[in-house]
Amino acid sequence: MTNPAGMLTIEMLAAMSETDDIDTVIVAFTDHQGQLLGKRIDIDFFLEEVAADGSHGCDYLLTTDLEMEVVPGYAYANWELGYGDFHIVPDLSTLRIADWLPGTAIVLSDLADTRTHEPVAVAPRSMLRRQIEKASQAGFSAKTASELEYFLFEDSYREASERGYAGLTPVGWYSEDYHLFQGTREEFFNRAARRSLTRSGIPVENSKGETGVGQHELNIRYAGILEMADRHALMKQAMKEIADDLGISITFMAKPRDTDAGSSCHVHLSLWDGDRPAFPGEESIGEVSVSDEFRWFLGGWMAHAAELTPFYAPTVNSYKRFVDASWAPTKIAWSYDNRTAGFRIVGSGPSLRIENRIPGSDANSYLVYAATLAAGLDGIANRIEPPAMFTGDVYEAADLPSVPGTLRDATDRFADSSWVRETFGSDVHDHYIHFFRTEQHAYDSAVTDWERRRYFERI
């Protein structure tokens, strides 16, 4: 694939500095939640210092919750260790124009230990890089695509916050799945997003209405697995900032309203052996002809789905999306071009790929793809066969394993998995057990509007 428009070299950036087209470079990295954090660097200082030597940030940023509160109990960083720095190392292959911001470029970064200079093991991008290295050692690479859904509201983020995120007005007012007329009402945002993403090195395929009121989907072109994880994170950041600039709000919550379907992040993956697609083969399964690698990758992906679900569904809200007959999967099964299955097989020949429908739009792309590669590679290494292909309505099947129903259940399976501990390392395993249980505890401790409406007067 050719280098998309909007990507920059250092020489191109320097030339744009000379013409005052770029004056700021954002040096960004992702936290546990998939949020982009970082610094805005003056262009001259970036060119003179940061491009080569990187920058530094406080390591507490990999231990905070969504409110940026310090969370005790992490071995990686804590008060006893003094919350020192990690090294922010720009990956210059990700340098690009941030078209949605004036005079700005952005570069994504890896995180390294300031003493050992080794990657920070618990950093999401480090975790994905480690699995990519394992795939390379096995002779494989992966091409992937994220399909992100979202809801748009007329209210600004500040207005939404002041209202407690209740009673917001969707931009549309009836279901708009593939609906061009209703979708036209949202073009002031979606067109701006498509144009800015494409001009920022994130080429767009299309956007379309979804089944929810005010719900839409925007699809970006497939890429190598690390590049897609980067594009995914940048896409969410860009779309939030575009919405903010337009005085509206966008949410990537998995289930913002119980009256609508949730928002997914369907993940498409094909495995490659050099320039050769590894999934097509001679064995006929249903309507497709597949290779051993296809079967085993699918088998591993499915076998480890339940214990890896916190990486696909990381919040309490994620699990509100898993409702029968809602387009979200509730069972772990596979089928050909069947949207009731958690794993949907799509295409044939070189385009043959597996779609995992479990992740929600609230997922951290780096954790999703690290989990995906780890599970699939284990399937190939141990020749894990998938169950028989399911035909029919998966929602109606009573004898299939279920997607975990709550974050607590999913975290318990994650915590009890010796395979997860061995695959990702005990330090990473313990770190993320604590992370997910901290999120569950925050929910368990909160008094909600639902409780007040139900119990205030009638108990």
Quick one: pLDDT at residue 423?
98
Residues above pLDDT 90, as percent of the chain: 97
Same domain membership, residue 184 and residue 35: no
Residue 162 and residue 112 in one domain: no
Do the beta carbons of residue 368 and residue 295 sit within 8 Å?
Answer: no
CA–CA separation, 410 and 392 (whole Å): 27
Q: Residues 113, 116, 118, CA angle at the centre, nearest 5°?
A: 60
Q: Judge whether residue 285 has pLDDT over 90.
A: no
Pairing of strands 24-30, 104-113: parallel
Domain identity same for 275 and 317: yes
Q: How many CB atoms lie within 10 A of CB 139?
A: 12
- Please identify which residue in the block is written with the tokens 């069972």: 331
> Whose CA is closest to 219, among 128, 267, 148, 166?
148
Query: Is 69 a member of any domain?
Result: yes
Same domain, 399 and 291: yes
Q: Tell which of 86, 121, 156 closes a domain.
A: 121
Which residue matches tokens 């051993």? Answer: 292
Query: Is residue 114 domain-shared with residue 142, that is, in the same domain?
Result: no
| 101 occurs within a structural domain | yes
Distance in angstroms (rounded) separating the CA atoms of residues 406 and 219: 28
| Sequence-ordered list of residues with C-beta below 8 angstroms from that of 158, at least 6 positions apart, any chain | none
For 47-68, how does the pLDDT look when each residue is reduced to its tens digit (9 = 90+)?
999 999 999 999 999 999 999 9
Which pLDDT score, from 0 to 100, does residue 288 have? 85
The Cα–Cα gap between 232 and 219 comes to 10
Q: Are residues 158 and 74 in the same domain?
A: no
Does residue 252 lie within any of the structural domains?
yes
Q: How confident is the model at residue 305 (pLDDT cuts 50, 70, 90)?
A: very high
If asked whether residues 70 and 219 sit together in one domain, one would say no
Question: What's the rounded mean pLDDT across residues 81-86?
Answer: 97
Rounded CA-CA distance 280/226 in Å is 23
- Angle (CA) 367 373 376, round 5°: 135
Say what the pLDDT of residue 2 is: 64
Same domain flag for 117 and 140? no
| Range of the structural domain that residue 20 is part of | 10-121
The letter for the amino acid at 134 is K
Is the pLDDT reported for residue 154 higher than 60? yes
204 with 244, same domain: the answer is yes
Query: What pLDDT, on the 0 to 100 scale, is given for residue 102?
Result: 98
**Domain end point (choices 121, 152, 180):** 121
Average pLDDT across the chain, whole number: 96
E strand or H helix that includes residue 69: none
pLDDT for the residue numbered 212: 94
Average pLDDT estimate for 101-125: 98
111 and 224 part of one domain:
no
Q: Within 10 Å of residue 144's Cβ, how many Cβ atoms?
A: 24
To which residue do tokens 């507490």 refer? 60
Mean pLDDT score, 280-289: 87
pTM of the model: 0.97
Would you call 77 exposed, middle or buried from its count of C-beta atoms within 10 A (0-12, 13-18, 19+)? buried
Same domain, 348 and 433: yes
Among 89, 121, 153, give the residue marking a domain's end: 121
CATH code, 342:
3.30.590.10
Q: Is residue 129 part of a domain?
A: no
For 389-426, how does the pLDDT look when each residue is reduced to its tens digit (9 = 90+)? 999 999 999 899 999 999 999 999 999 999 999 999 99
Task: Supply the pLDDT for residue 287.
Answer: 77
Q: Do 72 and 174 fall within a single domain?
A: no
pLDDT at position 106? 98
Residue 1 has a pLDDT of: 52
The pLDDT, as a whole number, for residue 284 is: 87
Specify the CATH number for the domain of residue 44. 3.10.20.70
Whole-number pLDDT of residue 447: 95
Please compute the mean of the pLDDT values over residues 294-312 and round it to a whole number: 98
Specify the number of domains making up the chain.
Answer: 2
pLDDT tens digits along 359-376: 999 999 999 999 999 999
Q: Looking at the domain assignment, is residue 5 inside a domain?
A: no
Q: What is the pLDDT of residue 440?
A: 97
In a domain, 444, yes or no: yes
Tens of pLDDT along 430-443?
999 999 999 999 99
Residue 330 lies in a domain: yes
433 within some domain: yes
- Is the predicted pLDDT of residue 240 greater than 60, yes or no? yes
